[in-house]
Amino acid sequence: MIAVDPRLSVAPMLDYTDRHARYLLRLLTRHTTLYTEMVVDQALLRGDPQRFLAFDDSEHPLVLQLGGSDPVSLAQAAQQGAAYGYDQINLNLGCPSARVKAGRFGASLMAEPAHVADLFAAMQQAVDVEVTLKCRIGIDELDSWDHFAGFVQTAAAAGCKTFIVHARKAWLNGLSPKQNRSVPPLNYEFVYRLKRENPQLTIIINGGLDTLSAAATQSEKVDGVMIGRAAYHDPWMLTAADRLLYGDDHPLPTRKEVLEQYIDYMAARIDEGVPLRMMTRHLIGFYQGAPGAKRWRRCLAEEVGRHGDLDMLCQAAAQMELQAA
Ligand SMILES: Cc1cc2nc3c(=O)[nH]c(=O)nc-3n(C[C@H](O)[C@H](O)[C@H](O)COP(=O)(O)O)c2cc1C
């Protein structure tokens, strides 16, 4: 088990933070905490654990995010995650999709603080690693400070010490998951106040923080920052994280070096039967902001993504390097 430093993390993102994306992200930053996509407890318990839980050793510090609403199955799923070697287990209380709502989990659980406390207690009792909660500041009409503070108090009374807060409420009726990540306004003040009034808790802020300098400015008010979409659109920005947020001055890799290592990784996975496009899709934003980025994106999405092989990818990368020289 590796200690999880709260200062910076890349958010759990369905369809993005799979093991290939995390392998790539770890080549860019040694210290940033990485999260899995949300894994639904029932799917894990009924399915092939290897498919949901396998990861490369380099991915630590690594958190498994679970979704569910039954204490017994969440505890079992947490146990499986801990046995696989995850450094922390996180429960999703922020996802607003219709599927999640029907299953009485994700953000809808913010209406049931006592149930969340039971879920947390069952999970934490089942494992030695820390269990944490990722929530919103409210849902629907339950968006007052008192509701949010009471929700956190109830979970904290059950023993939860770390809260990751997406600093906007979710509308469960009427907004799509995508809209729920941008339409409800951000309210960082609720998160700062939570930390001020509960200095003993570890509070990580999430939502709309899309540069490392924005993340660094949060350190006086909260214990850490979680970045989602910006890390997806421009993963290269994470190369500055070790120096800026952790004071680790190790020499930075070049894009060429990182690509070479990721290409070796992809070659090994192809031999195991993983389709190339499942891995190259994580490279689409790799040259964000660099000359030729648009051509790179098009080449990956259209040529390499659809019919390509690794040679085609190497040629595209060589062209980018020529352009940068
Ligand atoms: C494509 C996508 C998938 C997401 N999947 C999850 C998920 O599985 N679990 C979760 O807790 N949040 C999920 N989120 C929400 C993010 O973790 C994060 O809370 C949100 O994007 C706000 O952070 P940002 O403004 O830095 O992107 C997802 C977000 C995106 C864009």
pLDDT, residue 1, reads 77
Tell me, yes or no, whether 188 and 320 share the same domain.
no
Tell me, yes or no, whether 171 and 22 share the same domain.
yes
pLDDT, residue 101, reads 58
Asked if 46 contacts 68 with a C-beta cutoff of 8 angstroms, the reply is no
Ligand 1 centroid, distance to 233 Cα (angstroms): 13
In a domain, 277, yes or no: yes
- Position 141 confidence tier, pLDDT thresholds 50, 70, 90: very high
pLDDT, residue 100, reads 63
Nearest atom in ligand 1 to the alpha carbon of residue 106 is 11
In a domain, 26, yes or no: yes
Active site residue 135: no
What's the whole-model pTM score?
0.97
Maximum pairwise Cα distance, the chain: 59
Tell me, yes or no, whether 210 and 308 share the same domain.
no
Tell me, yes or no, whether 39 and 175 share the same domain.
yes
pLDDT higher than 80, residue 95: yes
pLDDT over 70 percentage in the chain: 98
Asked if 254 contacts 290 with a C-beta cutoff of 8 angstroms, the reply is no
Tell me, yes or no, whether 133 and 89 share the same domain.
yes
In a domain, 219, yes or no: yes
Nearest atom in ligand 1 to the alpha carbon of residue 226 is 26
In a domain, 1, yes or no: no
- Position 99 confidence tier, pLDDT thresholds 50, 70, 90: low
- Position 3 confidence tier, pLDDT thresholds 50, 70, 90: confident
Asked if 198 contacts 161 with a C-beta cutoff of 8 angstroms, the reply is no
Tell me, yes or no, whether 189 and 298 share the same domain.
no
Atom 22 of ligand 1 has which residue's CA nearest to it? 207
Q: Which range of residues forms the domain containing residue 157?
A: 8-246
Atom 23 of ligand 1 has which residue's CA nearest to it? 207
Tell me, yes or no, whether 320 and 212 share the same domain.
no
Tell me, yes or no, whether 136 and 23 share the same domain.
yes
**What total number of domains does the chain contain?**
2
Tell me, yes or no, whether 81 and 210 share the same domain.
yes
Q: pLDDT for 168-218, tens place per residue?
A: 999 988 888 889 898 899 999 999 999 999 999 999 999 999 999 999 999
Cα–Cα distances (Å) from 21 to 37, 55, 286, in that order, read 10, 11, 11
Q: Which of 163, 181, 237 is the best mutation target for the ligand 1 pocket, counting ligand atoms within 8 Å of the beta carbon and taking the most?
A: 181
pLDDT over 90 percentage in the chain: 83
In a domain, 273, yes or no: yes
Nearest atom in ligand 1 to the alpha carbon of residue 67 is 9
Beta-carbon-side half-sphere exposure of residue 290 (alpha carbons within 13 Å): 25
List the CATH number of the domain containing 165.
3.20.20.70
Ligand 1 centroid, distance to 11 Cα (angstroms): 6
List the CATH number of the domain containing 303.
1.20.120.1460
In a domain, 294, yes or no: yes
Query: Among the options 95, 135, 160, 299, which is catalytic?
Result: 95
Ligand 1 centroid, distance to 207 Cα (angstroms): 9
Tell me, yes or no, whether 48 and 196 share the same domain.
yes
Nearest atom in ligand 1 to the alpha carbon of residue 229 is 27
- With the C-alpha atoms ordered 71, 76, 82, 85, is the resulting torsion angle positive or negative? negative
Q: Which whole number is the average pLDDT over 70-82? A: 98
Distance CA 278, CA 20 (A): 8
Ligand 1 centroid, distance to 309 Cα (angstroms): 30
Q: pLDDT for 215-225, tens place per residue?
A: 999 999 999 99
Q: pLDDT for 38-64, tens place per residue?
A: 999 999 999 999 999 999 999 999 999
Ligand 1 centroid, distance to 18 Cα (angstroms): 13
Quick one: which of 196, 202, 237, 211 has its CA closest to 25? 237
Q: pLDDT for 284-295, tens place per residue?
A: 999 999 889 999
In a domain, 2, yes or no: no
Domain boundary among 246, 264, 292: 246
Q: pLDDT for 101-114, tens place per residue?
A: 566 789 999 999 99
The answer to which of 24-33, 167-176, 243-252, 256-265 has the lowest mean pLDDT is 167-176
Give 199's contacts (C-beta < 8 A, 6+ positions apart): none
Tell me, yes or no, whether 110 and 87 share the same domain.
yes
In a domain, 3, yes or no: no
Domain boundary among 196, 224, 246: 246
Domain boundary among 194, 212, 246: 246
Instruction: Give the binding-site residues of ligand 1, using a 6 Å CB cut-off.
Output: 11-16, 37-38, 65, 92, 94-95, 134, 166, 181, 206-209, 227-230
Beta-carbon-side half-sphere exposure of residue 174 (alpha carbons within 13 Å): 6
Tell me, yes or no, whether 292 and 179 share the same domain.
no
